[in-house]
Structure 1
Amino acid sequence: MDSKLVLITGVTGHIGFRVLQYALEYGFAVRAVVRSQAKADTVRSNSALRAVHQNNQLEIVLVPDFTVPHAFDAVVQGVDYIIHCASPIPFAAPTSDDPENDFIRPAVNATLGIFQSAARAPSVKPIVITSSCIAVAPVAAALVDTGNTYTADTRQPEMDGQWPPGTQSFVTYAAGKVAALNRTEAWMRDKIPHFDAIHVMPAYVLGHVGMADDLQGRQQSPSRLVLNVVRGREKGNEDPPGLAMVVSHVDDCARIHLEALGPNIDGNQSFIICYDCGARPEWDEAKAIVEQNFPTAVNAGTLPCKGSLESVVCRLDSSKTEKTFGFRHTYKDAVVSLVEQYLDLHKKQQGKRKD
């Protein structure tokens, strides 16, 4: 890569933090956008980041509200690339009483706002947006096998905006992703700006959560699905009886976001990130992986491997992504990575209780 300046949003999130790490490792100068000084302090104090950047390589800027008009006008000036990872996270809140303000408006207005600001910044070249496979597959495909195959070029109609109180946040998260994808593509066709846009569409992203410093932090990501299986946790009321087995490793997600900026990647296209969808993997394969790689934790009862999550077939076609970028990880790699971190955090928590 090179030392050009890349602006990254969502750097305190699962994918965004790993994108930030990779960008610094690749030698980019980074302008990271956060919403508060507290988040800025959290990023700067992270030991993993201090090991991979010089002080003048990382600039952190505050944009308190991503959704207001012209919020990004100043911060995009002089930027060569933009990676927009910021997004409301449904795992942090099972239901929403105000879906429009919690998920849909932030997803649409923040993304369009970045595009509108970038149009006023001649230096900006590609923009990479973290979308989701739920932007191209219907919500039903997360829960049942629809029999249809969805590619990165599939498009879904925007959802009805009549949301009753207590709506499942996953549904409105999906609605926000669909709306953001459809409206930004329409904006690109209408305005024909000087930059291209690439949408990256991960499935459930597993692996080490860079900003998690306690076990609670591990629960705010899809990794909890696997942890519930290997810890033997009983299903809660918010848990579905089965869920689409569509996963990716956070390292592949981050790498593809950055490699999509390369001059050999054509703009204005989309890429699904999902492993082995045609092979119909199972969530419960995590138990055998853990038993093989962490026998001490299994024998001690820390990871009894007695939970279960039924795997629903979801037919995502990620062949274009694999051909363009390749995948370097598997479901096994993702499980090992997230369990290693879980055990480390569990040990630290147990040590604190003894103090």
Structure 2
Amino acid sequence: MTQIQRLKEIYQLLWQKAYSKNEIIALLEPKVSLRQLERDLIDIKNSYLRPTEELLEIPNGKRMYYSITKRKTKKRKLNFDDFCIYDLLLNSENEVLNKKFDKQVLFFQNFKKALFETFGEHQNFVQKNIIYKTHFYELYQDETFIKNIIPIYKAIYDEKYIQVKQVDFDATGDNPELRSRNLKLKPLKIIFHRGDYFLFSHCKQNYKIFEIGQLMDVIILDKSFTLPNYQAVFEQEMSNRFGVSNNINQKLYDIELEFSESTGNYISKMKWHESQQIKKLPNKNYRLTMRCGINRELGGWIFQWMNNVKVIQPPELINIYQKIINSIHANNQKNNRLESINFFNKG
């Protein structure tokens, strides 16, 4: 019998009724020493009980009896903020959010732990720490996001407009026309993308996506809208984009890229866009085709593969790609100050 199996058996015994140490030893097979049983009881108490359970020590004459029972605790009343935070953590389990909302995280972790009926086996896996998370591309120390997320979440739930004092830069593709103060938006959907949170919204007769940390001083307005009316628009708008960045125009393009054999084999296992088609070529390279707009995220994604990718079509994307290569080369030849230039602005 392994340690986990023995702890599980002791746990099940103590749920049935109270036992003394000698009675527990008599029921176990194979037998264990008194010292080993005492260590097992400490392990059960410290590591293997559910949050709703406790190990009782019941004196009876000269003997001590042990039993496991449900812990008597006051039920914590959940509020709207809690549900918002649980929703965020279910998607990302972000390290920064975990530290910021430590009380809610503890409740959330206990809830997850209670989902496992075979508690011992689960605890053993958790303690091994077999899977390591890099937190690469994860939102990091953004206090503006922390301030914004609950009012935006609440506004979407209640189908209310929000007002934004100003937009601080734009992570999705510059919106210079939206620098004005007191911008009114219909907040339609929160998008979790590349470890960060974005807001899909209706603004000035257009649909815009903002990184939530870019929106300054968000307040909820009394004015209402009907959220379900925008679901189809949201789905169509997302299918038109590569990721969440703004497209250069309203056109959709037939994108065709060729990847080297090793890189193509890797990208063929991933989902990049709902329209993607990936085919292995006779020369062992891979061809990826998809139909979507051209935007900054598409350009950056292509450059990620360095010299293992070639843009086949459309001509518009080839021209932008070459223009960026020329600009990179020029930057490396001069000692000029870098400027924020977006080659994917509307043209």
What TM-score does the superposition give when structure 1 sets the normalisation length? 0.24
What TM-score does the superposition give when structure 2 sets the normalisation length? 0.25
Question: Between Structure 1 and Structure 2, which shows a larger proportion of strand residues?
Answer: 2
Q: Which has the higher contact order (CA 8 A, sep 6+)?
A: 1
Which structure has the larger Rg? 2
